[in-house]
Structure formats: C-alpha cells, structure tokens
Amino acid sequence: MRLAISSYTATSAAGIGLSAMANSIASRSSGLRPNDLPECDLLTWIGRVPSVEDTCLPHHLEHLQSRNNQLAWLGLQQDGFLDTLNQLIERLGADRIGVVMGTSTSSIGRTEEAYARLEQSALMPEAYRQPEVHNLHSPGLFVAQATGLKGPSMTISTACSSSAKVFASAARWIQHGLVDAVLLGGVDSLCLSILYGFNSLELISPDPCRPFDVRRNGISIGEAAGFAVITRADLAPESKFELLGYGESSDAYHMSHPHPEGKGAVLAIDRALKRAQLSAQAIDYINLHGTASRANDLVETYALAQCFTDRTLASSTKGWMGHTLGAAGILEAIITLQAMANDLVPGTLNCDVPDPEFRFPILQSNVVQSIQYAMTNSFGFGGNNATLVFGRIHD
C-alpha cells in the first residue's frame, strides 16, 4: 500500500515554520545560542525556540499547561497545518484519523516546576495537579485534544529514535485498516533534567556542536515540534512525497554507546531499503543522525561504508538547531522532505575538517541537486534504531 505525506510543518531553533527553517538552512545561519535557560548554569549552547514562553494555550487546553505542550501548540499553528487537518477531518471523520507522537522527555519540565513548588504539606500546588501532563503520554493526549481527533492515540519513547518510529507505527495502522490517516509527530522541550542528565554523561559540548568534525566534543541540546499527516495515497492525490520504507532494530549493545561496527544501524538501513524495494545505490541523500559525539559519528560512518558508495550525499543538520532528542526523527524527516522540495541538500554546519578516521565522506557545504529518493537515520540510546526512506511522487 502506497502511503502519501499530505502535509507537514516544523518548529525549532532554526525557525518557526517551514519558510523560516528553509531560510536558515539556505543561509547557513545556526539557531544555537549560549545557554540562557532559567536556573541552569551549564556552560553550553542550546537550540531554544524563543516564542515558547509567550505561547498561550486555548482555554479548553489550559489544564494541559506545560512548556512541552506550549511548544506543541506553537508548532501546530504553523504552515496552515491545522486548517489542512480540519479539511481532512471533514472528509474522513475524526475517528478515522489516529495520533502517534514521539518524545523522550514529555512534560517533565512541568514536573520539575511542580516539585520545586511543593507546599509545606508536601502537596503540589493546585495548578500543578495535572495527571494528563505528568506522564509520558502527555504529547499524544495533548495533540488529540488540541485537534479533536478521535482515532487511536499513542506516544512512543525510544530516546532519539522516538519520532522516527512514529512513521513505522502509523504505516502499520493504515495498512491494517485501523485508520485511514495518521497525524504523527514529535515534541521535546528544554528542561533541567535533560541538560544536567546529558552533562553527567559527559556528552554536552561547551561550544556549538560540530557534527563529524575532527574537533567535535559533544552535543548541543535543542527543542522542537514537528508534525506530518500520512494517509493512503488514493486519499491525497495532490501529495508530492511518500513514505516508501522504514526499518527498525534494537541491538541493545550498550545503554548509551552504539555497537562499534554499527550492526544495529546497518540492520535498520537494510530493512528500510528492503521495504522500499530500493537498492542502496538508488538513495540520493541521507540525513544522518550525526550528533557530534565522538563515538556516534564515527560508528555511523562505519555503517554507511557497509551499505553505500560515495554517490550518495550524506550530512547532519544538527548544527542548525542542536539535538532535539525525541523530536529529532520527525524534524530531520521534514528537513529531508524540504530538501527534496527545494532541490537544496544541506551540508553539515560547523564541520570544517572531517575526521580522517571516517570511512564515508560527509557533505560539508550545501549543494543544489534534485533528489528522487532520500533516507533519514535516527539512532537512540539502548540501540533503538530507525531508518526511513522517502520518495518523490511524479506528476
């Protein structure tokens, strides 16, 4: 069954909405900034979305107040996404459209606030008694209520592959007839737990991240919200792109370190290509996981060298907005779709001198080139790997 991508939008430090993001990528202007998150004294750079704090939830959603849900609401309002979704609801019915969201932190930032404001009785203040917020399914619950969708709803949390895996789950739902379309996405927002947690793992860089550069010394944490709608191709004849394949693996080699030979990554890539019925040589561009950590970037080049030739362009786009964790999969999928739409392949921002130990060439500068088939890689802690393949639909 062919699955069309009928609409999408993205919000991150690289830009609020598709146009702003495209301008940032074309001009190679990073959205990373010195850490200015309140009550956080870490010396690092972050990908902060400046309008989140000023975003007010509608009255009927105020009981779901959190920074994460504010970011989700801001993202949903971009690029006419809600209008397009409402038109689809009128055609299919709210109960025939599902919701699959990816996240790693959910609304834990709100939980941090709640514990910091405990009353003398050790009870949370009334405003923070939010059972639908203080749990991992918060993004799925929020998006379903914000959009009025009545189909099945699920939130996936597999670290940094979370919102790449949403494509696979959505595809299975449609293929099995549970729904006709799925609103899928990912939202993760900056919070103290994440910044201090990654710092404790010695993975945070004091500088803007340098994916695949020989001087790379850690990641920059960012936040983002991305959304897309996929449906049966016959229901969206105007669509320009389709989801051709997905591959998932769980090598469980180590809690935070990838398999040194990239076995889990290769397995996910092979499965995605097989499902797409494409050879590796057919892929024009790969948006890499490329976090700027020493081990992950090196191992990803090992995996690429086992599957591809240097005909395929490959780059990381995290230099624009940082690593957005559970939102990285959807955000980088949308960046890839925009690269296909605009015939502009993003290079790797802040990669000045590629590491000589790499086994696969990394694109450094933007390139004007038409893309027929593209791939994205998202590799999470614990060996939770996901690879997606997208194709251009010919007129």
**DSSP-assigned letters across all residues of 245-258:** EEEEEE--S-SSS-
160-177 pLDDT per residue, tens? 999 999 999 999 999 999
Q: How many CB atoms lie within 10 A of CB 203?
A: 20
pTM for this entry? 0.97
Write down the catalytic residue from 160, 191, 209, 307: 160
Write down the catalytic residue from 137, 209, 307, 323: 323
What mean pLDDT is predicted for residues 199-214?
Answer: 96
Q: Using CA atoms, how far apart are residues 138 and 69, in angstroms rounded to an integer?
A: 8
% of the chain residues with pLDDT over 70 = 98
% of the chain residues with pLDDT over 90 = 91
pLDDT at 229 over 70: yes
- What is the model's pLDDT at position 316? 98
pLDDT at 255 over 70: no
User: What's 313's domain CATH number?
Assistant: 3.40.47.10
pLDDT at 394 over 90: no
- Of 79, 83, 72, the C-alpha closest to 107 is 72
Q: Using CA atoms, how far apart are residues 293 and 282, in angstroms rounded to an integer?
A: 29
Q: CA triplet 150, 153, 155: central angle to 5 degrees? A: 155
What mean pLDDT is predicted for residues 365-378?
Answer: 98
Chain Cα centroid distance, residue 228: 11
Q: How many CB atoms lie within 10 A of CB 252?
A: 11
- Domain range for 146 is 3-392
Q: Given pLDDT bands bounded at 50, 70 and 90, which one contains residue 256? A: low
pLDDT at 252 over 90: no
- What is the model's pLDDT at position 43? 97
Q: CA triplet 335, 209, 66: central angle to 5 degrees? A: 65
- Of 318, 310, 329, the C-alpha closest to 243 is 329
Reported as type and span, the H/E element at residue 377 is strand 373-380
Q: Using CA atoms, how far apart are residues 281 and 258, in angstroms rounded to an integer?
A: 25
What's 231-248 look like in SS3?
EEHHHCCCCCEEEEEEEE
Write down the catalytic residue from 209, 289, 307, 351: 289
pLDDT at 151 over 80: yes
- 132 burial class (0-12, 13-18, 19+ CB within 10 angstroms)? middle
Compute the mean pLDDT over every residue in the chain, rounded to the nearest whole number.
95
Q: Using CA atoms, how far apart are residues 48 and 390, in angstroms rounded to an integer?
A: 28
Region of 258 (left: φ > 0; alpha: ψ -120 to 50; beta: rest) is: beta
How many domains is the chain partitioned into structurally?
A: 1
- What is the model's pLDDT at position 369? 97
- What is the model's pLDDT at position 381? 76
**Could you give the 3-state DSSP secondary structure of residue 309?**
coil
Higher-pLDDT residue of 250 and 323 is 323
**344 contacts 26 by C-beta, under 8 angstroms:** yes
- What is the model's pLDDT at position 382? 72
What mean pLDDT is predicted for residues 113-132?
Answer: 89
Chain Cα centroid distance, residue 89: 25
- What is the model's pLDDT at position 262? 80
Q: Is 137 a catalytic residue?
A: no
Region of 325 (left: φ > 0; alpha: ψ -120 to 50; beta: rest) is: left
- What is the model's pLDDT at position 39? 92
